C-alpha cells in the first residue's frame, strides 16, 4: 500500500516536472520562431543600398536610411533629456533626501509612472510640446516626449543601483572627515555606476523601439529629405515599420521591406541592450 | 577657516543642485497627470459622464449626432488583457517553477538572459509578427477570412507579459525560506508536492504582483493591439471578434482629429481613464511586491 502511494507520487512528479519543462520549451520555441522568421526574411531584404538610401517609388523600393538616422537622432535627444536629470534626481532621492513619508510617496509615484502606457505620454507630448510650447510635430517634440517617458525608468534604475551600495561605504568616508559630496563621489558613485549605466541604457533601448509616443509628436510617414533642424519632422524605424505593415497602399509589395525594417530595428534595440550588459560586465571586472 | 567655508558653500551648492533636479523631475512627472486631467475635463462639457462610460456607441464624426460611449473599448481592452493573462500565467509560472525548482543552475543562467531578449523586442515588431505569423495561422485554425481579432492580440500580449511574469515569479519562488520546503520534504512530501502545496502558496504575493504588472502592461500596450486586433468599433462578443481597444482608438483618431474639438478632448478623456486604470493596477502590484520583499528580510 505504502509502496504504491510512493509510486503514484513519483509518477505525478515526473509528469508535473515534464509539463514545467514543456512550458520552458514553448517559450523558447516562440522566441526562436520570432527571431528566425525576421532573421530569414529580413536578411534577404537588407543590403548596402537598403541601409544607405532613401525609400523610392512609393516606398516599394530603395532603403530606410532616413528612418535609421531619425531613430538615432531622436534617441540622442531622449538621452540628453532623461539621463542627467534622472541620474541627479536619483542621487538626490537616495543620498540627500530625508526618508520621510513624503519621499516614500514620491518614490511610489515615480515607480508607478514607469508603468504608465506609452500612448498616454504621446498624448501628453501633443498637449505640452506640440501645442503649448509650439514646437509643432518635430524631432524636438518627439525626443522630449520619449525623454519624459524614460525619466521614471532612469530614476528608478539609478535608485536601485544606489541602494546596493553598503552603508558602511558612506560611513567609512564620513568617519574619515569627508564631506557628504566627497563620500558620494569617491565611495558611492564608483560602486553604483555600472548598475546605473546599465539601467539607463536599457531604458534608452526601450525608448528607441517605441512608436506610440512619437506617432503624433513628430514621426513622419515618408520624407524625401533628412531633418535639418530640431523643428523638422523625421522618419523613425518603429513608425516606418508600422506604416509599411499596415498603412502602405500595396502591403504585399512592401512586405519584404517591412521585414528588413523589422530586422534593422531589432538589431538596433538588442544591440543597445547588449552594449549595456557588456558595459556592466567590464566595469564590474575593473572594480575588482 | 576660509577653506572650510568654501567647502561648505560647495557642499550646499551641490545639495541644492541635486535638490533642484529632484524637484524638477517630480514636478514634470506630476505635471503629466495635471495636464492630462485638464485636457480631459473640457470633454465633459459636451458629453455626459454617464453616456461616456455606459454607451457602447463611439461615433464622434457622425453627421447626425456625435456619440461618445467608450464601453465597447473598455470591454475590448479587458477582453484582450484577460485573454493574455489566462495564456501567460500558467506558462510563465511553469517556466518560473522549472527554473527555480527543477533546472540546473547553469540552465537558469542561460535561460534568464534569453527571456530578457524577449522583453527587449519592440512592441511594433511583435505587432508585425502578429500580422505575418499569427494572423494566417488563426485564420486557418478557425476558418476565418483573416486572423486579426482579439485572440491574436491576446496571444501577442501574452508573449509580451511572459518575461515580467517569469522573472518576478521566479524571484518570489526563490525568496521562499528554505525551511518551508525542508519541512515539507522531511514530512515525506515529494518535490512536486512541495512546489505545488508549499512554495507556490508561500510565494503567492509575488506571483500576484507579477500578474498585475503584466496586466498593467497589457492594458496600456498600443502598437501590438493596434496592428493585430482588426480595430472594428462594434461591441465584442467573443475572442474571435475584431476589437478596438482604448489605446488603439486613441492611436487611430488622434492623427486626424481637429484640435480643441469635443472629439479631441474626448480622446484625452480616454487617455485619462487609461492612466487611472494602469495606475491602480500598478499600485496593487506594488503593494503585493512590498509584501513579499518585506518577508524576505
- Where does the pLDDT of residue B297 fall: very low under 50, low under 70, confident under 90, or very high at 90 and above? very low
- Distances in whole angstroms, Cα of residue B146 to Cα of each of A60, A250, B123, B143, B284: 24, 17, 21, 9, 37
d(CA B24, CA B74): 34
Has residue B46 been placed in a domain?
no
- Reported ipTM: the value is 0.90
3-state helix, strand, coil in chain A (%, to 5): 80, 0, 20
Q: How confident is the model at residue B203 (pLDDT cuts 50, 70, 90)?
A: very high
CB distance A242–B127 less than 8 Å?
yes
Q: What is the DSSP letter of B67?
A: E
Segments in chain A below pLDDT 50: none
| Cα–Cα distance measured from residue A223 to residue A227, given in angstroms and rounded to the nearest whole number | 9
Domain edges within chain A: 51-287
Between the CA of residue A270 and those of A190, A276, B108, B210, B296, what are the distances in Å?
26, 10, 21, 24, 33
In a shared domain, residues B104 and B234? yes
Pick from A24, A118, A270: CB nearest B98: A24
Least Cα distance to A53 among A221, A226, A215 occurs for A226
Q: What is the pLDDT of residue A2?
A: 62
Distance CA B266, CA B257 (A): 10
| Chain A residue whose CA is closest to B21 | A89
- Is the distance from CB of A275 to CB of A205 less than 8 angstroms? no
The answer to whether the CB atoms of B117 and A97 lie below 8 A apart is no
- What is the CA B135 to chain-centroid distance, rounded? 22
DSSP sequence for B147-204: --SHHHHHHHHHHHHHHHHHHHHHHHHHTS-HHHHHHHHHTT--HHHIIIIIIHHHTH
Is there a domain that residue B127 lies in? Answer: yes
Asked whether the beta carbons of residue B123 and residue A210 sit closer than 8 angstroms, the reply is yes
Q: What is the pTM of this model?
A: 0.91
B20 and B96 both lie in a single domain: no
Residues ≥6 apart with Cβ < 8 Å to B281: A115, B212, B215, B216, B219
Pair B138, B228 in one domain: yes
A116 interface with B at CB cutoff 8 Å: yes
Q: What angle, rounded to 10 degrees, do the helices at B262-296 and A101-113 form?
A: 120
The architecture in CATH of the region A51-287 reads Orthogonal Bundle (1.10)
In a domain, B53, yes or no: no
Domain annotation covers residue B114: yes
Asked whether the predicted pLDDT for residue B295 surpasses 70, the reply is no
How many domains are there within chain B?
Answer: 2
What is the C-alpha end-to-end distance of chain B, expressed in Å?
A: 46
**CB contact (8 A) between residue B279 and residue A19:** no
Q: Do the Cβ atoms of A241 and B124 come within 8 Å? A: yes
Same domain, B176 and B292: yes
Dihedral over Cα of B189, B193, B198, B203: its sign? positive
For residue B19, being part of any structural domain is answered with yes
Q: Residues of chain B with pLDDT > 90: what percent?
A: 51
Q: Same structural domain for residues B103 and B15?
A: no
Mean pLDDT of chain B: 89
Statement to judge: residues B140 and B235 lie in one domain: yes
List b or e across A50-81, with b for residues whose CB sees 16 or more CB atoms inside 10 angstroms: beeebbeeebbebbbbbbbbbbebbbebbbeb
Cell triple for B42: 473640457
Phi, psi of A165 (to 5 degrees): -75, 125
Domain range for B27 is 2-40
Residues of A in contact with B193 (CB under 8 A): 9, 13
**Shortest Cα–Cα distance, A229 to chain B (Å):** 23
Q: What is the pLDDT of residue B26?
A: 80
pLDDT at residue B296 in the model: 52
A19 touching B, CB under 8 A?
yes
Residue B51 belongs to a domain: no
Give Cα A137 distance to the centre of its chain. 22
Binding-face residues of A in 41-80 toward B, CB within 8 A: none
Instruction: With CB atoms and an 8 Å threshold, state whether B29 touches A151.
Output: yes
> First-to-last CA distance in chain A?
59
Which pLDDT tens digit goes with each residue over A186-198?
A: 889 988 988 888 8
3-state secondary structure of A254: helix
Residue B52 in any domain: the answer is no
**Cα dihedral across residues B85, B91, B92, B94: positive or negative:** positive
Confidence band, pLDDT 50/70/90 cuts, at residue B60:
confident
CB contact under 8 A, A37 and B133: yes
For residue B59, what are the β-bridge partners? Answer: B67
Query: Could you tell me which residues are beta bridge partners of residue B144?
Result: none
Indicate if B230 and B260 belong to the same structural domain. Answer: yes
B50 falls within a domain? no
* pLDDT for the residue A112: 81
B271 closest CA partner among B38, B72, B25, B30? B38
Say if residue B79's pLDDT is above 90.
yes
Residues of A in contact with B159 (CB under 8 A): 30
Are residues B267 and A277, on separate chains, in Cβ contact within 8 Å? Answer: no
Q: Which three cell numbers stand for residue A162?
A: 544606489
The number of beta carbons lying within 10 Å of the beta carbon of residue B48 is 11
**CATH number of the structural domain spanning residue B93:** 1.10.3720.10
Amino acid at each position: 500500500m505504502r509502496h504504491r502511494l510512493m509510486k503514484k507520487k513519483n509518477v505525478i512528479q515526473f509528469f508535473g516536472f515534464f509539463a514545467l519543462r514543456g512550458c520552458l520549451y514553448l517559450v523558447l520555441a516562440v522566441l526562436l520562431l520570432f527571431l528566425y522568421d525576421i532573421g530569414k526574411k529580413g536578411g534577404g531584404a537588407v543590403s548596402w543600398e537598403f541601409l544607405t538610401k532613401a525609400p523610392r517609388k512609393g516606398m516599394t523600393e530603395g532603403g530606410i536610411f532616413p528612418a535609421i538616422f531619425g531613430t538615432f537622432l531622436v534617441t540622442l535627444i531622449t538621452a540628453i533629456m532623461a539621463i542627467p536629470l534622472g541620474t541627479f534626481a536619483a542621487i538626490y532621492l537616495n543620498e540627500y533626501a530625508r526618508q520621510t513619508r513624503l519621499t516614500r510617496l514620491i518614490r511610489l509615484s515615480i515607480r508607478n509612472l514607469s508603468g504608465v502606457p506609452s500612448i498616454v505620454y504621446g498624448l501628453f507630448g501633443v498637449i505640452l510640446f506640440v501645442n503649448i510650447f509650439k514646437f509643432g510635430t518635430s524631432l524636438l517634440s518627439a525626443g522630449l516626449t520619449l525623454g519624459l517617458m524614460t525619466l521614471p525608468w532612469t530614476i528608478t534604475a539609478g535608485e536601485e543601483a544606489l541602494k546596493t551600495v553598503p552603508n558602511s561605504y558612506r560611513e567609512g568616508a564620513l568617519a574619515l572627515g569627508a564631506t557628504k559630496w566627497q563620500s558620494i563621489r569617491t565611495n558611492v558613485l564608483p560602486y553604483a555606476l555600472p548598475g546605473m549605466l546599465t539601467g539607463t541604457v536599457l531604458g534608452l533601448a526601450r525608448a528607441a523601439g517605441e512608436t506610440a509616443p512619437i506617432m503624433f509628436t513628430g514621426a513622419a510617414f515618408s520624407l524625401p529629405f533628412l531633418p535639418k533642424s530640431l523643428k523638422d519632422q523625421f522618419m523613425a524605424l518603429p513608425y516606418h515599420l508600422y506604416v509599411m505593415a499596415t498603412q502602405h497602399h500595396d502591403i504585399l509589395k512592401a512586405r519584404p521591406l517591412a521585414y528588413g525594417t523589422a530586422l534593422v530595428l531589432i538589431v538596433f534595440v538588442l544591440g543597445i541592450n547588449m552594449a549595456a550588459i557588456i558595459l556592466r560586465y567590464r566595469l564590474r571586472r575593473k572594480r575588482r | 577657516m576660509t577653506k572650510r567655508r568654501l567647502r561648505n558653500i560647495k557642499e550646499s551648492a551641490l545639495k541644492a543642485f541635486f535638490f533642484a533636479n529632484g524637484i524638477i523631475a517630480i514636478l514634470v512627472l506630476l505635471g503629466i497627470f495635471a495636464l492630462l486631467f485638464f485636457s480631459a475635463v473640457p470633454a465633459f462639457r459636451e458629453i455626459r459622464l454617464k453616456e461616456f462610460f455606459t454607451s457602447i456607441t463611439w461615433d464622434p464624426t457622425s453627421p447626425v449626432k456625435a456619440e461618445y460611449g467608450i464601453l465597447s473599448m473598455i470591454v475590448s481592452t479587458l477582453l484582450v488583457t484577460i485573454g493574455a493573462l489566462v495564456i501567460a500565467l500558467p506558462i510563465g509560472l511553469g517556466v518560473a517553477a522549472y527554473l527555480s525548482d527543477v533546472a540546473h543552475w547553469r540552465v537558469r543562467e542561460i535561460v534568464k538572459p534569453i527571456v530578457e531578449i524577449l522583453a527587449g523586442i519592440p512592441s511594433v515588431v511583435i505587432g508585425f509578427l502578429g500580422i505575418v505569423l499569427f494572423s494566417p495561422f488563426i485564420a486557418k485554425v478557425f476558418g476565418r477570412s483573416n486572423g486579426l481579432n482579439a485572440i491574436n492580440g491576446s496571444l501577442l500580449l501574452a508573449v509580451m507579459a511572459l518575461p515580467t511574469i517569469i522573472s518576478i515569479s521566479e524571484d518570489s519562488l526563490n525568496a521562499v525560506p528554505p525551511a518551508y520546503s525542508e519541512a515539507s520534504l522531511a514530512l515525506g512530501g515529494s518535490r512536486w508536492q512541495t512546489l505545488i502545496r508549499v512554495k507556490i502558496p508561500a510565494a503567492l504575493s509575488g506571483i500576484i504582483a507579477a500578474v498585475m504588472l503584466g496586466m498593467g502592461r497589457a492594458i496600456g500596450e498600443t502598437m501590438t493591439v493596434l496592428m493585430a486586433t482588426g480595430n472594428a468599433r462594434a461591441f465584442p462578443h467573443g475572442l474571435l471578434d475584431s476589437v478596438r481597444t482604448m489605446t488603439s482608438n486613441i492611436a487611430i483618431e488622434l492623427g486626424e482629429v481637429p484640435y480643441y474639438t469635443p472629439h479631441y478632448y474626448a480622446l484625452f478623456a480616454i487617455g485619462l481613464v487609461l492612466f487611472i486604470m494602469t495606475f491602480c493596477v500598478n499600485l496593487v502590484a506594488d503593494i503585493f511586491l512590498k509584501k513579499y520583499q518585506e518577508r524576505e528580510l
